[in-house]
Chains A and B, each alone.
Chain A
Amino acid sequence: MSIFEYNGSAVVAMVGKNCFAIASDRRLGVQLQTIATDFQRISKIHDHLFIGLSGLATDVQTLYQRLVFRHKLYQLREERDMKPETFASLVSAILYEKRFGPYLCQPVIAGLGDDNKPFICTMDSIGAKELAKDFVVSGTASESLYGACEAMFKPDMEAEELFETISQALLSSVDRDCLSGWGGHVYVVTPNEIKEKILKGRMD
């Protein structure tokens, strides 16, 4: 069994028109046993920047704490929030630093940059950035997510339609993966508000 399959996870982010959505499943397991059904994989860095981490849960939490620390230092020094592109470079550097003994997680970063232009990117566990203009996926359900997003994505969706699309893609993909699921957690961020929704899914 791969180390990424120890806890199970599914994270996806999509780009819409001046908005983005990021979603994850809620299961935390130890191999085939489910320990929690409300695990938080997506975290807010600042109002317009979210990071979702899939993979080994302990590294997810440690890496998140490290990144929040670095971002707070940046805020103190620069007196402003980090841009999403800068944050992606920071995460990539932190992961590559551990090239020969890596953090066993794959981040998905989503944010609104200058002029409210949405930015998404994902990385492998050693920091190889993968920028995309449409969607990025990560986790044990990633193969199903690739297929579902490829089929369901349309460019320039508004926030409501984007929410529906990302939720349907997430729920249908985790239904095909034993290690992720137990509901969904979706954040849709526009320049004016953050909408956080918890989805009802199959509890098996």
Chain B
Amino acid sequence: MSQSAVDVPPKGGFSFDLCKRNDMLTQKGLKAPSFLKTGTTIVGLIFKDGVILGADTRATEGPIVADKNCEKIHYMAPNIYCCGAGTAADTEAVTDMVSSQLRLHRYQTSRDSRVITALTLLKKHLFSYQGHVSAALVLGGVDITGPHLHTIYPHGSTDTLPFATMGSGSLAAMSVFEAKYKEGLTRDEGIQLVAEAICSGIFNDLGSGSNVDICVITKGNKEYLRNYMEPNPRTYVSSKGYSFTKKTEVLLTKITPLLERVEITEVGEAMEE
């Protein structure tokens, strides 16, 4: 059936066939949808033995909090992690894609990935889409040449810095870093500083909130501290819960019994030589 070839674009990548229809709908006065953004405060800093990355965990859809505990620190390689701000789908897709490319590269070269490789792959992709892929990233990792920390902007420009912040809460977090950062921080001092910077974003920026995630990367080791701090626990839970005395009225019930899921393990014979 030739129609099946239409479903998947031949070489992967974006397909633009609904653009004309969506433009027509916009012209008729129907506004386009808003995407899930990650408002966000993301930070990174270089300490004595490596890199510490931090992020908040709020995902917003317009003014509504869609996810109170999302993950913004994405895995790129065993020694490289990336925090993402901007449109959530873009940050997830771009980091997943570059993570796969890095793995293939590791298989081809039999070497650990370098941070600068991830940086170049990301900036090439983002630049080629001229900023329409709205992903602002803080990339950090430790490779054979040492610890590295970079920021990548949606249009493809990059900076290499000892400490960096991105996202709507970046000004709040940068103020903490500028006041308290110094070279040669120990692991505990670094974690405390990152947590303080993210907290300042959480409490002062409306687009950031909930908990603090931290990732510590050192030579040959990484620690992903998910929900390292939870400064906003939910305290208004009613202990009694809701009890519905008046039940919902049901018009029609249909019950489909399901067969038990049976695992079929075939006992095969060994191959004959």
B244 and A164 form a contact (CB under 8 A): yes
B7 and A104 form a contact (CB under 8 A): no
Known: A124-B61, A126-B89. A104 touches B250 (CB 8 A): no
Q: Is the interface of A mostly helix, strand, loop or mixed?
A: mixed
B258 and A191 form a contact (CB under 8 A): yes
Decide if B251 is an interface residue (CB 8 Å cutoff). yes
A193 and B258 form a contact (CB under 8 A): yes
Shortest CB-to-CB span from A10 to chain B, Å, is: 15
Decide if A165 is an interface residue (CB 8 Å cutoff). yes
Known: A1-B31, A99-B89. A195 touches B255 (CB 8 A): yes
A127 and B89 form a contact (CB under 8 A): yes
Q: Give how many A-B residue pairs fall within 8 Å (CB-CB).
A: 149
Assembled-state Cα–Cα distance A128/B238 (Å): 32
A70 and B7 form a contact (CB under 8 A): yes
Shortest CB-to-CB span from A56 to chain B, Å, is: 8
Interface size, A (range): 35 or more
Shortest CB-to-CB span from B225 to chain A, Å, is: 19
Assembled-state Cα–Cα distance A197/B257 (Å): 14
Shortest CB-to-CB span from A141 to chain B, Å, is: 12
- Hey, what's the 0/1 contact readout for A76-116 against B, CB within 8 Å counting as 1? 00000000000000001001111111111000000000000
Decide if A36 is an interface residue (CB 8 Å cutoff). no
A199 and B31 form a contact (CB under 8 A): no
Decide if B124 is an interface residue (CB 8 Å cutoff). no
Interface size, B (range): 35 or more
Decide if B109 is an interface residue (CB 8 Å cutoff). no
Q: Which residues of B contact A92 (CB under 8 A)?
A: 89, 92
Known: A69-B7, A101-B22, A129-B92. A200 touches B35 (CB 8 A): no
Known: A6-B30, A130-B70, A152-B242. A191 touches B261 (CB 8 A): yes
Stretch from B8-16, B98-106, B190-198, B200-208 that touches the partner: B8-16
A96 and B15 form a contact (CB under 8 A): no
Decide if B126 is an interface residue (CB 8 Å cutoff). no
Mark out the residues of chain A between 122 and 176 whose CB falls within 8 Å of any chain B CB in the assembled complex.
123-130, 132, 142-143, 146, 151-152, 154, 164-165, 167-168, 171
Decide if B40 is an interface residue (CB 8 Å cutoff). no
Assembled-state Cα–Cα distance A4/B247 (Å): 31
Assembled-state Cα–Cα distance A102/B93 (Å): 15
Given contacts A69-B4, A98-B15, A126-B87, 16 further A-B contacts (CB under 8 A): A3-B32, A99-B89, A99-B133, A102-B33, A124-B36, A125-B35, A126-B89, A129-B92, A142-B64, A167-B248, A171-B248, A192-B260, A193-B258, A198-B251, A198-B253, A200-B248
Closest 9 CB pairs of A and B: A101-B19, A128-B88, A128-B89, A101-B18, A124-B36, A200-B249, A167-B248, A126-B89, A198-B252
Sample of 10 A–B contacts (CB below 8 Å): A2-B30, A3-B25, A100-B16, A104-B25, A126-B89, A146-B64, A184-B248, A191-B258, A197-B250, A198-B250
